[in-house]
Amino acid sequence: MTVPLLGLGACGGGTELSQEQTAQVLLSAEEFPLDGYTRGEVQEGGSSEGGDAPEDDSLAALLEGQDVPEACMEALEATDLGGDDFSAQSTVTFTQGDQSSPLPTTVELVVATVDGDSPLEPLAGVNQECDEVTVEEEGLSMTLTFEELDELEGTKMTVALGEVEVDMLMGGTMEDQVVVAGFGTGVGQDQLTEVIETQVGKVDDAD
């Protein structure tokens, strides 16, 4: 499961990054601050640059066909993180351990230029309206809970199946027109914050 997630961003003076620059500024394998991770290939493309953005990149796509309270679904639908406001966007994923696992430990980073409001704002609505959601899938019942992150503006989605729980972290901030995306599975908030802060530092240095 891969969901683009927006995180901390910083570029002074209203700086924009071109499509080429968003790819160049992504962390290299050597710069990534966590041990034991393998860097994947950079994926480029913002909607106005001719990229192949998904038709529905909101969290609502994860719960399609489920019995979800209306207010919660509306909040989830508002989290369209791959919409027309992205004028430049590049993504890279770092994976730890067995990459063939159904849910490997990963951190996905996105550096993007956004023409419009912060795409992080709707995540606050998810935390407010989606306390706990039950999902039925192939005879199995899973519980999804959402809560505010401690240090990042965003949400932690916990998927519980019996005694097994998996956290998916999505959060950060936006400054001027540049955002840095951070989506983590199998990592803690402190780890994701460290990765995002390192990425932000590289964006700042490129300014």
Question: Which CATH architecture best describes the domain 12-206?
Answer: 3-Layer(aba) Sandwich (3.40)
More confident residue, 61 or 198: 198
**Widest CA span in the chain:** 53
| pLDDT tens-digit map of 140-181 | 888 889 999 888 888 898 988 888 888 889 887 677 888 887
Q: Which of 93, 119, 100 is nearest to 27 (CA)?
A: 93
Q: Which of 115, 111, 78 is nearest to 4 (CA)?
A: 111
Judge whether 160 and 137 are in contact, CB under 8 Å: no
For residues 186-190, average pLDDT = 91
pTM for the model stands at 0.79
Domain ranges across the chain: 12-206
The answer on pLDDT for 4 being more than 50 is: no
Segment (H or E) for 148: strand 140-148
Neighbours of 97 (CB within 10 A): 13
Q: What CA–CA distance (Å, rounded) separates 50 from 3?
A: 20
Handedness of CA 142, 150, 185, 79 (dihedral sign): positive
More confident residue, 63 or 101: 63
